[in-house]
Amino acid sequence: MPQGDYIERSIKENGRRLDYEERKRKKAAREVHKHSQKAQKTLGIKGKMIAKKNYAEKAQMKRTLAMHEESTSRRKADDNVQEGAVPAYLLDRENTARAKILSNTIKQKRKEKAGKWDVPLPKVRPVAEDEMFKVVRTGKRKTKQWKRMVTKATFVGPGFTRKPPKYERFIRPTGLRFTKAHVTHPELKCTFNLEIIGVKKNPNGPMYTSLGVITKGSIIEVNVSELGLVTPAGKVVWGKYAQVTNNPENDGCINAVLLV
Amino acid sequence: MVQYNFKKITVVPNGKDFIDIILSRTQRQTPTVVHKGYAISRLRSFYMRKVKYTQTNFHEKLSTIIDEFPRLGDIHPFYGDLLHVLYNKDHYKLALGQINTARNLIGKIAKDYVKLLKYGDSLYRCKCLKVAALGRMCTVLKRIGPSLAYLEQVRQHMARLPSIDPNTRTILICGYPNVGKSSFINKITRADVDVQPYAFTTKSLFVGHTDYKYLRYQVIDTPGILDRPFEDRNIIEMCSITALAHLRAAILFFLDISGSCGYTIAQQAALFQSIKSLFLNKPLIVVCNKTDLQPLDGLSEDDMKLVNEMKADALKTAIGQGGEGTDADVLLTMSALTEEGVIAVKNAACERLLNQRVEIKMKSKKINDCLNRFHVAVPKPRDQKERPVCIPPAVLEAKAKQAAAEEKRKTEKDLEEENGGAGVYSMNLRKHYILADDEWKEDILPEILDGHNVYDFIDPDILQRVEELEREEGLRQAEDEEDDFEMDGTELTPEQQEALIKIRRKKSVLINQHRIKKSTAESRPIVPRKFDKDRQFTTERMGRELSSRGLDPSLAINRMRSRSASRTGRKRERSPEGRDDGMDIDDDTPSKKQRLSRSRSRSRSVSRPPHEVVPGEGLRDSAQKIKAIKLAKKSVKKRNKNAKRGEADRVIPTLKPKHLYTGKRPKGKTDRR
């Protein structure tokens, strides 16, 4: 019975075919042509995948070639400029630094007054009510249409109990309730799976905020005790705001960016 | 439980290929076309099916991996330890555990997303959910990529492990590197183990099989062990230690007394002392190898002392088992190169192992199962007289002589071997020819002479045969004349002669029949008598035979005819009405019907008229049968659904009936109707 490294042993004892080297070389040479034939002939999704792979390879190859050629090409010589000194091409211009600084503070004061904050997604697409709610017909003859079912992701707190079903106007189905969010720290660039504490603001309206509907762009508060952040005073930070960056009802999960 | 054959594990694909396989299978095996105008439930089920199908495939493939890889706790501890030594038990378990977690995670993902899909209200949303589900499953799989690669390597290596049966008779060979263990196993088995001058040529266990006393023994060759503390041993040495620790085998400890392996006898003896604990309860034989370079007697004092110590230790184990105590059984010398003593070592090891195993079996409880099955029958002694074996003295003398003659006589094979073997010396087969003239022994015989093959005319008894032939020729002519007479020398009367002729004729007929039967008996199927296909057993034949004996056959023939098959279709005709008393036994005047029917049976060869209907098959009489036949014929006729007045009526009531000229085709092509 073949045991141990019988293949290598047999090669060592009996050697290889007399034309082994030649066959190997020719086969390797033919591989290139076969690859190109396959890429040209394959249809459908497989063809697209092959094309994608080939393109990625080509881009990578170009990048490496460019890197190698960097040293041989000529570059513009950038003279080192000292701090505070004006670079050579600005010598004839006037100094507008201070004015710029002034206008920046004025701009920030204005933003504070307006209540606009510096968030990753300042503008989001508005969601219409008929997209947000689905009408549920009730009653013996199914003619009453005062109930609505939420079709987007929602958050209900841990102590949540429904109103008696006869009287509840907004139905938040359990399948669409989320408790956790994937929160990315913008500076550390890593993502954590953190619990949601509550929905702070939904840009589509206060009604949605009170219902706990989470859409793209809504601000949620998450439990960051995992991260171990500490205030300068020494207190442990355990809740922080994050803004949702995807459409949770389409992806099945909530992705958010922490607002530091 | 997976036995010691790990060659049947399916290949573990690597992460990327795994994902590709599953996703392309989903794309091929589930419906692909969907439009946004479909009913929402149809859209939902379309995408749910894809998610579920992918999850099922992942589950299936991962389950096969988990099930096929052996669990280290379930296999024999020898293999469990060996796999631990080679692949690190923890790493192995972790890898399999990761695959299991991945399987569970994928199941959870599929469940969650199928739940979410129920709330999908548009094609775009369902599609996004499906893409998210499949993507998450593939991410899970990408994370276990390294485990899959590790398991694939483990599988490839496991498939090359030798299949060692831990429970059968085993001989284990151990010792320092380069002492000649692999050469020994190459000599006694058909295993082809690499033998090289450098140490650690053998890097893993090798197994070969050999026979002794009609039983098969496994011989296991181990890599060499160096004398080191246990913790410092590397993987290769640990393989040997595992084999020594777990297998109940006869142990051959090899000693290189010439020192050409590069290690002195002192070092080897030190190794022996350090692994002595592994030799408990196992038959141990110390084998001194390479005696062609250095005979055992030529060793120095110290070396001899060490060797004797080892021998004493080995003796102790031997006495512990079977109480033997012969020196030759525990210390043997051999040389693998010149092959002297190789067979002796093998036989000694096999013998010791066999004895030990038999003893253990006798002591165990299992022996009762075997003992019940055999029974040595000994004739009961009827008196106290002793009856020893009786061999006639002539036979004893002959035996002795034969033995002596066999020893004295030199066979051609011995000569051949002396002169160099089969390829070098060709035997002189003509040396012992018995010919009339001894000078003819070396003559070459021609094959063709005068256009004839010589061999057709050669025969050792040819002269004798020629004489016999001539005699026969002369005799046969005389024989034909005296044919019938002379049985005992007395003449026979004419009746007796006739009888004799008849008897002879009959005898020759019988003999011919028997010959035919015998010659074709095996190829010919035997047809039982009731299917008389040759029509041997006819009433004519019976009539002839009976009349030849002088008996009247007519009664018998009538009886047979009355029972014949042609009559069974006929219901017995009722006896004519009006007979109240059933005392009419001798009814010699049957009715006309009965007479007619009976007379018909006499002439069986007359065919029936075409209109005749025979009752039978469950029908009472001919009239009923005629009715039944009519009904059957009528039912086959086609119904006149088109209300045609006859065959030639070609009227079409409506030229363009509406039900045939309205409606669309499913494909939209209505060129013609």
Q: A18-32, B198-212, B242-256 — which one is most confidently predicted on average?
A: A18-32
Q: Are B160 and A9 within 8 A, CB to CB? A: no
pLDDT by residue (tens digit) across B135-187? 999 999 999 999 999 999 999 999 888 888 888 999 999 999 988 899 999 99
**Binding-site residues on chain A for chain B (CB distance < 8 A):** 1-6, 9, 45-46, 134, 151, 173, 175-176, 247, 249-253
Contacts of B74 (CB under 8 A, 6+ apart): B1, B2
DSSP state for residue B340 in the 8-state scheme: B
Give me the residue from A45, A175, A251 closest to B118, CB to CB.
A175
Put simply, whether the predicted model's pTM sits higher than 0.90 gets the answer no
Least CA distance to B203: which residue of chain A?
A4
Q: Which of B21, B119, B136, B163 to mutate to test the interface with A (most CBs of A within 10 A)?
A: B119
Q: Give me the DSSP letters along B369-426.
A: HHHHH-----PPPSSS--------HHHHHHHHHHHHHHHHPPPHHHHHHHTT-TTT--
Locus of tokens 């023994």: B217
- CB atoms A4 and B204 under 8 Å: yes
| CA B144 – CA B446 distance, rounded (Å) | 82
Of B129, B160, B193, the CB nearest to A252: B129
Pairwise CB contact (< 8 Å): B112 & A173: no
Q: What is the pLDDT of residues A2-46, one digit of tens each?
A: 788 888 989 998 999 999 999 999 999 999 999 999 999 998 888
Over residues B218-232, mean pLDDT? 90
Residues composing chain A: 260
The reported pLDDT for the residue numbered A31 is 96
How confident is residue A173, by pLDDT bands cut at 50, 70 and 90? very high
Q: Give, in order, the Cα–Cα distances in Å from B341 to each of B249, B335, B344, B416, B418.
A: 21, 7, 5, 23, 20
Nearest C-alpha of chain B: how many angstroms from A18?
24
Note the pLDDT tens digit of each residue in A120-141: 888 899 999 999 999 999 999 9
pLDDT given at position B658: 86
Beta-sheet pairing, A170-171 with A239-244: unpaired
Contact B219, B347 (CB under 8 A): no
Nearest to A1 among B115, B125, B163 (CB): B163
> Exposed, middle or buried by CB within 10 Å (0-12, 13-18, 19+), for B494?
exposed
What is the rounded distance in angstroms from the CA atom of residue A4 to the CA atom of residue B193?
A: 9
- What's the gap in Å between the CA of A255 and the closest CA on chain B? 13
Which region among B204-213, B309-318, B438-447, B597-606 has the lowest average model confidence (pLDDT)?
Answer: B597-606
B445-500 pLDDT, tens digit per residue, is: 888 988 888 888 777 787 788 888 888 888 877 776 565 445 554 677 888 889 99
How would DSSP label each residue in B6-40? -TTPPPPPPHHHHHHHHHHHHHHHS-----TTS-H
pLDDT of residue A99: 54
With an 8 Å Cβ cutoff, the interface of chain B facing chain A consists of 24, 27, 112-113, 115-116, 118-119, 121, 124-125, 128-129, 132-133, 160-163, 191, 193-194, 203-204, 206-207
Subunit contact A250:B124, Cβ cutoff 8 A: yes
Which domains does chain B carry? 15-160 (1.20.120.1190), 170-364 (3.40.50.300)
Residues of A in contact with B112 (CB under 8 A): 252
B312 to chain A nearest CA, in Å? 36
DSSP assignment of A121-153, as one string?
--------HHHHEEEEEESTTS-EEEEEEE-SE
Instruction: Return the pLDDT at B324.
Output: 59
The answer to whether the Cβ–Cβ distance between A249 and B119 falls below 8 Å is: yes
Question: For A228, left (φ over 0), alpha (ψ -120 to 50), or beta?
Answer: left
Which tens digits make up the pLDDT trace of B546-585? 888 888 888 888 888 887 765 555 555 454 444 444 444 4
Question: Would you say how long chain B is, in residues?
Answer: 673
Helix axes A44-69, B15-29, angle to 10 degrees: 150
Q: Find, in chain B, the residue whose alpha carbon is nearest to that of A149.
A: B119
Contact (CB<8Å) A134/B116: no
Residues pairing with B167 in the sheet: none
- Interface residue of B21, B86, B160 to substitute, partner A, most A CBs within 10 Å: B160
- Provide, as residue numbers in chain B, all residues whose Cβ is less than 8 Å from the Cβ of A249: 119, 125
State both tokens at B179: 């002492």
Residue from the list B129, B161, B194 with its beta carbon closest to the beta carbon of A250: B129
